[in-house]
Amino acid sequence: MPKPEDILDIYESFRKGMQTYFKDSPVPKALKPKRGCTSTRLAMALRPFFPSTVHVDTDIMGADILIWDNEGPLLALFWSSSYLAKDRKKKAIAFHEKENSPLTLAFSLFPDKEKFLIYRIEKGYIEYLHADKNTFSEEVMRRCTIDEGKKDDGQLLLPLHRRKK
């Protein structure tokens, strides 16, 4: 089991990879890439920020992206273009518990917005974070136990501005 400082390093590598993804990979609004294509682009953005001894794979063991070494999963990622559906959140929690992953993240990309939503599942807790795509500054919206998160049917919404018609 990784030490707490290792989990921080894993999360920092995720942050750097996501910053690269948002900075270098803008997709024109007219294009709607398939899920597998986006997972591959995310994995490619993350790969340089992890040691060469770590594997970065897509669509494996039920995770959209799995970062693992010979000892097992290090980071499991589950993502959605819009708000994460309740079943995807439950799938991420189930993976985290079954595979004993030190860190599992589920996130909503929101292609047209400046922020995205992260569910950080770790050590018996879920943190709900809003993160800025440019600076990756984070705001913790809520923290609860995994058991509370399983029961929670609600969605933490981004404070998105509605366009006036």
Phi, psi of 69 (to 5 degrees): -130, -170
Of residues 50 and 154, the one with the higher pLDDT is: 50
Binning pLDDT at 50, 70 and 90, where does residue 79 land?
Answer: very high
Examine the pLDDT at 150 and tell me if it is beyond 60: yes
Interatomic CA distance for residues 8 and 124, integer angstroms: 16
Rounded to the nearest angstrom, the gap between the alpha carbon of residue 73 and the centroid of all alpha carbons in its chain is 15
Examine the pLDDT at 30 and tell me if it is beyond 70: no
Of residues 16 and 159, the one with the higher pLDDT is: 16
Examine the pLDDT at 1 and tell me if it is beyond 80: no
Interatomic CA distance for residues 75 and 65, integer angstroms: 8
> What is residue 28's predicted lDDT score, i.e. its pLDDT?
57
Q: Work out the average pLDDT over 92-109.
A: 92
> What is residue 147's predicted lDDT score, i.e. its pLDDT?
83
> What is residue 41's predicted lDDT score, i.e. its pLDDT?
92
Q: Give 129's strand partners.
A: 118, 140
Q: Work out the average pLDDT over 121-135.
A: 91
